[in-house]
Chains A and B, each alone.
Chain A
């Protein structure tokens, strides 16, 4: 008998008394009752409480805002995923070298990069969370992990209010990373310290919707 068969046999013997299988009471809140503007405000407030920097702009202001953030952080080496809208980097000064990760950048190369710029799949207002799903505007997981600075552009049409709404929009078969503020630890006397192994600086740009480059049809995810 294999360990698999033995374990399953022990489980079946253990529940031989046929314990009741309760129905799941899903009467908790699934939908948030906020207008899009109020959801974006709540998202901004909650992200800021994690000590991430929050910026607001319309779509036309994204390139200038990214250039400003890079300059004030003193970043000189940037990495971006292949699907990032090209004009987002149109105002980045030539003093900043930008690499596009086509999946071939090495760990050593990425470790030497200062900053990564991405979009996001979903943002959850109540918890101040952005979710990356490795789509073309976000890239493989490693590029948002090794650089010490992450600039994440969140289009307001990606913002939902509740955790259930957020998970409903996601495809579980993709690699998913939920990010709520910069890397942190509370391991020393339960005092929160921002910045351990993940990016220590997180800038979130909330962009009003309306630009086709930001709109991707995700309706196929809804069962």
Chain B
């Protein structure tokens, strides 16, 4: 037993279940996405549309900065007292007739949900769009238990019918345009009108007809939660289509799977987040439907209400003093829409249910950096994500922090240093000594020979020789100057710094 980890040791999200790890590194997956002009067109159009909508509705809120400060503080205060908040939440949900379950990881959460569904005698569930259940691969786990899970959000339905993967937090089918969706519906929905057009209204109406009977006959629903109020035991789901209301109201049994970081301390805190979230997310003043329920409401809605509290790596994120701010995320997806990298590669390249800038800091922390080592580099560090984040997560700083972690992990693992590490050590040796640095600068003039040969006119080196060639695969290198700054300074001002 001495090898067993201490019960308080951080655990990461397990491998082999759920959707947090891609099969390929980010650069490999991104290369394929960048070669797809249809995808780039769809993404460019969609992200430009949503950016403009968001900017308009944020601009009309005079106290947006104050709301962001409050949102950030509420989230940080919650994480600093997370154990207390969850115990309060559990107490209030239980007092209101709900049942609370705790799941350390994806496997355990999937087992709990499958068992709860089996106990109802039903073999199918309807689902409200939920990031947490995608993260843990719930649909696959239920299928293995002989239970069919039906996604009811329009975009999730598109993804599920196409046996596709979600590529955006808010709009999982953002990579598909209307013509592609029409063709998919004609192929995958039995009994659909063959005259279906690609008008979005017609496509939405087709989804309504397809799902209507499913809603009316469903006995069990599975949802996520956007917020859970510790003070009152109230759960909250925000949505647009009404599929959420259907799932939260019609079935006898409701099972909600929620990451432990979604709790907020007080009812009053919702007045902040119900302003920040819709405007940041869909660019609306308010989303069409927000449902709030507290345990079982006698004579109204489900008679059995379950809440599954999911860790799955969140406590290891919480243990990182810099990285823990990633848990403050309210999943609005504003950072995706402004990210110059996401706009071009789309979500699939990130290999996780959490794409874009927030995914680049969340996925590696949930899985451990060694499983998503390329993601912290999937950024230009331009900071646009930080500017739009409604809870002011400093994503660029966490990206840099995770890059440092990645280097440390790799250094600890290797017996032989990498070429990069050797170059950095050599640079450090050179730059910490005045004479060594002068000699190195003079010798760099040799590169002018390369530059002369390669591209004399523009002062650029198109391709460096030997191992340095990798640097110039995608960029030019400047030709070193004939005279260094230090030489110029000595010539102009002399060694004593006086102008000659």
Residues of A within 8 A of B (CB): 1-15, 17-30, 46, 50, 103, 107-108, 111, 124, 126-129, 134, 140-142, 145, 163-164, 167-168, 172-191, 193, 195-199
Contact = CB atoms under 8 A, between A and B. Distances in A.
B290 A178 contact: yes
Nearest to B294: A173
B67 interface: yes
B267 A19 contact: no
B208 A177 contact: no
Contact of A10 (B211, B284, B293, B315): B315
B466 interface: no
A12 to B, nearest CB: 5
Interface in B39-91: 42, 45-46, 49-50, 53, 62-63, 66-67, 69-70, 73-74, 76-77, 79-83, 86-87
B288 A193 contact: no
Contacts of A9: 7-8
B403 interface: no
Contact of B288 (A27, A50, A173): A50
Contact of A183 (B7, B45, B241, B274): B241
Interface stretch (B22-30, B174-182, B351-359, B393-401): B174-182
B311 interface: yes
Interface stretch (B131-139, B150-158, B447-455, B485-493): B150-158
A107 B250 contact: yes
Interface in B276-299: 282, 284-294, 297, 299
A177 B351 CA distance: 35
Nearest to B290: A178
Interface of B: 7-11, 42, 45-46, 49-50, 53, 62-63, 66-67, 69-70, 73-74, 76-77, 79-83, 86-87, 96, 101-104, 108, 152-155, 158, 171, 173-174, 177-178, 181, 200-201, 203-205, 207-208, 211-212, 215-216, 229, 232, 234, 240-243, 245-246, 249-250, 260, 267-272, 274-275, 282, 284-294, 297, 299-301, 309, 311, 315-316, 318-319, 321, 324
A150 B216 CA distance: 19
Contact of A179 (B62, B74, B289): B289
Contact of B311 (A7, A26, A173): A7
Contacts of B292: 172, 175-178
Nearest to B241: A196
A172 to B, nearest CB: 4
B7 A167 contact: no
Q: Name the residue among B8, B272, B291, B321 with the largest chain A CB count within 10 angstroms.
A: B8
Given A10-B11, A190-B174, A185 B241 contact: yes
Contacts of A186: 171, 240, 282
Contact of B291 (A4, A142, A164, A177): A177
